Amino acid sequence: MALLDRISSPSDLRRLSERELVALAAEIRDFLVASVSRTGGHLGPNLGVVELSIALHRVFDSPRDSVVFDTGHQAYVHKLLTGRQDFSDLRTRGGMSGYPSRAESPHDVVENSHASTALSWADGIAKAHELRGRSDRHVVAVIGDGALTGGMAWEALNNIAAGRDRRLVIVVNDNGRSYAPTIGGLAHHLDTLRVTNGYEAVLSWGKRTLRRSGAPGRLAYDALHGLKKGIKDVVAPQGMFEDLGLKYVGPVDGHDVAAVERALARAKAFGGPVIVHVITEKGRGYSPAEQDVADRFHAVGRIHPETGLPVAPSRFSWTKVFADEMVRIGRRRPDVVAITAAMLAPVGLAPFEAEFPERTFDVGIAEQHAATSAAGMAFAGLHPVVAVYATFLNRAFDQVLMDVALHRAGVTFVLDRAGLTGEDGASHNGMWDMAMLRVVPGLRLAAPRDEATLRSALRAAVDVDDAPTVVRYPKTPLGDDIPAIDAVEGVDVLARHAGPGARVLVVGIGSMATTAVQVGEQLAATGLQVTIVDPRWVLPVPSALVKVVGEHDLTLCVEDGVVEGGVGATLAQRVTEAGIRTPVLARGIPAQFLEHASIAQLVEAVRLRPEDLAADVLGALAAADA
């Protein structure tokens, strides 16, 4: 019987010998490679935390002790050890989430997969335990060195340090990477700690020497105290953490279960906030991941487990178009610089960085800093392009509003994976941006429909030097270009269908232009007179689009963003303000947290298929005639 088959809860781990734990770790790695290669998911991060996860669950008593993962994509091993060993439906509708999920298990605490939040969660839980007299419970926050580049983590550390008696253990999972090598001053500090792990060995030697010397007790104590201080200053400069009032343990080999277990047990016994610094290797035990410098195995699609190569090659993407156009713009415009938040390769800035390294800035997981730093660059004569996933711009809304827009800074924000993203679940759907940004004065937002309009929008955006601009595009594969057959004051006309019936205008926002064309064809088949348009620049709503709405009997506006307060709702408001009585049907994503599923399944669930939208139009027309 395989060891993993004998693990149904963390208590089962405590019955295993040290030799069995080593064998279990190997089994878990084999399981992860075999399972995730079939479904896709976060492979590299989980291969790196196998021994750490085993040690955590041997030392702490989950769920009585709360274990909080930041960001949660490294919780697959935790799931295995807490009784969830069917990974056949990982990240599929109705199946296991790729992140911790309270709906799945009482062992899961935090579902949000936005980084740098775990320490604040842990601080709050520990404070609640203290106030409620739960002195027998511990809180453990597992945070990567990459997430420690986020300012929120340091706000939490500042508060955690004040609770000297709270039973809170911070495990820094230090692999030198987030999506890419961790950057900044913190990374250099951890590098220093990482290469000076001889502290305990030297201290042990000093203790033995003092004992053999036969020095009197007080003299030996003073000598040992001086030895400790000297060694810490020279060998283990962890003062940054200890100056905050946090006890520091480490660095510890994160792939030695016994060593990690000893360190965690020491931290647990301390009775106050402790940082345990654990050194791990992302992708550990899987040769393709260990040898990969580009970090392709952070998150994978379906792959061949033997080679790590994708089962199906990826199609040409929106991100690649952006990457190519950025390099072209960079060659033409020496004032254009690129900023990203720990996602240089995923957002397509690696080619720009390769050609213009001095003009590329990876600020770590710090979207707020990215936005305000960009405002400073714009003030000093540059044009920054800040490229992030759409879901992560949520974190920097105040900076976009008060630092960029208020100061009329020429900053371009490029939002990758806008709209529905699918398998990563509620926190990764980039559906909030248009509804959120519509209230920012002066901001202009483009939603290109294809490669040609993406390139055009990006060139136009960086030419704006007196206001923020936004260019957004989805995760879905890039389709064929959709040429305009006409234009009305900047609004592209994609198709016109003659017919004897009512005049219907279909407005397709961004990548939903393809859906709009299909809706138009279905409506035309019923005898309606249909016009399909794409405004391209959707915020503020073009006055020409409002005028075109007035020339029709009914308008449908379809977008891949939140419908409440979105582009369609804004268009309806502008139409009313203009005294136009044409009804506007706004269709988009409801303001709900959507469970993980494929994009196609989500589109069906929120009724954004062409047949759903055409039915809504026909129903509205029938109701108007009744």
Q: Look at 307-321, 360-374, 460-474, 478-492 and tell me which has the smallest mean pLDDT.
A: 307-321
Which of 580, 354, 261, 322 shows the shortest CA–CA distance to 462?
322
Cβ-contact 190, 197 below 8 angstroms: no
Which of 136, 131, 73 shows the shortest CA–CA distance to 101?
73
Which of 252, 191, 248, 308 shows the shortest CA–CA distance to 51?
252
pLDDT at 286: 73
Cβ-contact 314, 325 below 8 angstroms: no
pLDDT at 523: 97
How large is the average pLDDT for residues 145-160? 86
Question: Is residue 91 very low, low, confident or very high in pLDDT (cuts 50, 70, 90)?
Answer: confident
Query: Structural domain boundaries of the chain?
Result: 4-197+236-290, 318-472, 491-625
161 annotated as a binding-site residue: no
pLDDT at 245 over 90: no
Which of 558, 503, 552 shows the shortest CA–CA distance to 535?
558
pLDDT at 182 over 70: no
How large is the average pLDDT for residues 147-170? 86
And the tokens for 511? 């990548």
64 vs 152, residue with greater confidence? 64
What is the rounded distance in angstroms from the CA atom of residue 326 to the CA atom of residue 459? 9
Strands 491-497, 486-488: pairing is antiparallel
Map residue 414 onto helix, strand or coil: strand
pLDDT digits (tens, 9 = 90+) for 52-82: 999 999 999 999 999 999 878 888 999 999 9
Specify which of 252-261, 295-304, 400-409 reaches the highest per-range mean pLDDT. 400-409
286 annotated as a binding-site residue: yes
Residue 129: phi and psi, rounded to 5, are -60, -45
367 annotated as a binding-site residue: yes
Q: Look at 139-148, 284-293, 379-388, 550-559 and tell me which has the smallest mean pLDDT.
A: 284-293
35 vs 463, residue with greater confidence? 463
pLDDT digits (tens, 9 = 90+) for 308-364: 666 666 656 999 999 999 999 999 999 999 999 988 989 999 999 999 999 999 998
Cβ-contact 41, 72 below 8 angstroms: no
How large is the average pLDDT for residues 184-194? 51
How large is the average pLDDT for residues 139-168? 86
Distance of CA 601 to the CA centre of its chain: 21
Distances (CA, A) of 283 to 40, 310, 622: 15, 16, 58
Cβ-contact 139, 168 below 8 angstroms: yes
pLDDT at 342: 87
Cβ-contact 300, 40 below 8 angstroms: yes
What is the rounded distance in angstroms from the CA atom of residue 289 to the CA atom of residue 274? 31
pLDDT at 190: 52
What is the rounded distance in angstroms from the CA atom of residue 277 to the CA atom of residue 263? 9
Q: How many CA atoms lie within 13 A of 619 on its CB side?
A: 7
- Looking at the domain 318-472, which fold is it? Rossmann fold (3.40.50)
What is the rounded distance in angstroms from the CA atom of residue 263 to the CA atom of residue 251? 9
Within 8 A by CB and 6+ apart from 607, the residues are: 587, 613, 616
115 annotated as a binding-site residue: yes
Cβ-contact 86, 60 below 8 angstroms: no
pLDDT digits (tens, 9 = 90+) for 477-488: 888 999 999 999
pLDDT at 228 over 80: no
596 annotated as a binding-site residue: no
How large is the average pLDDT for residues 292-317? 65
Mean pLDDT of the chain: 86
Kindly state the percentage of the chain with pLDDT values over 90: 58
pLDDT at 510 over 90: yes
pLDDT at 221 over 80: no
pLDDT at 274 over 70: yes
pLDDT at 526 over 80: yes
Of 3.40.47.10, 1.25.40.80, 3.30.428.10, 3.40.50.970, the CATH number of 4-197+236-290 is: 3.40.50.970
Specify which of 24-28, 84-88, 478-482, 516-520 reaches the highest per-range mean pLDDT. 516-520
Q: Look at 37-51, 227-241, 255-269, 456-470 and tell me which has the smallest mean pLDDT.
A: 227-241
Strands 336-340, 383-389: pairing is parallel
Residues with a known catalytic role: 282, 367, 395
Q: Look at 43-57, 394-408, 485-499 and tell me which has the smallest mean pLDDT.
A: 43-57
Within 8 A by CB and 6+ apart from 581, the residues are: none
pLDDT at 191 over 90: no
How large is the average pLDDT for residues 183-200? 49
pLDDT at 468 over 90: yes
Residue 559: phi and psi, rounded to 5, are -140, 160
Query: Cα-Cα-Cα-Cα dihedral of 324, 314, 74, 38, to 10°?
Result: -170
pLDDT at 219: 54
What is the rounded distance in angstroms from the CA atom of residue 463 to the CA atom of residue 336? 10
What is the rounded distance in angstroms from the CA atom of residue 292 to the CA atom of residue 289? 5
44 annotated as a binding-site residue: no
And the tokens for 292? 């990969």
175 annotated as a binding-site residue: yes
pLDDT digits (tens, 9 = 90+) for 97-108: 888 889 889 999
501 annotated as a binding-site residue: no
Number of other CB atoms surrounding residue 481 within 10 Å: 10
What is the rounded distance in angstroms from the CA atom of residue 45 to the CA atom of residue 28? 13
Domains 318-472 and 491-625 agree in fold:
yes
Question: Is residue 234 very low, low, confident or very high in pLDDT (cuts 50, 70, 90)?
Answer: very low
Distance of CA 274 to the CA centre of its chain: 27
pLDDT at 211 over 60: no
What is the chain's length? 626
pTM recorded for the entire structure: 0.84
Question: Is residue 231 very low, low, confident or very high in pLDDT (cuts 50, 70, 90)?
Answer: very low
Cβ-contact 552, 504 below 8 angstroms: yes
113 annotated as a binding-site residue: yes
Of all helices (H) and strands (E), which one includes residue 70? strand 66-70
Within 8 A by CB and 6+ apart from 259, the residues are: 252, 253
Cβ-contact 422, 597 below 8 angstroms: yes
Number of other CB atoms surrounding residue 2 within 10 Å: 11
DSSP character at residue 424: T
Of 3.40.640.10, 3.40.50.920, 3.30.70.120, 3.30.70.360, the CATH number of 491-625 is: 3.40.50.920
Three-point CA angle 171, 176, 177, nearest 5°: 100
pLDDT digits (tens, 9 = 90+) for 562-614: 999 999 999 999 999 999 999 999 999 999 998 888 889 999 999 999 999 99
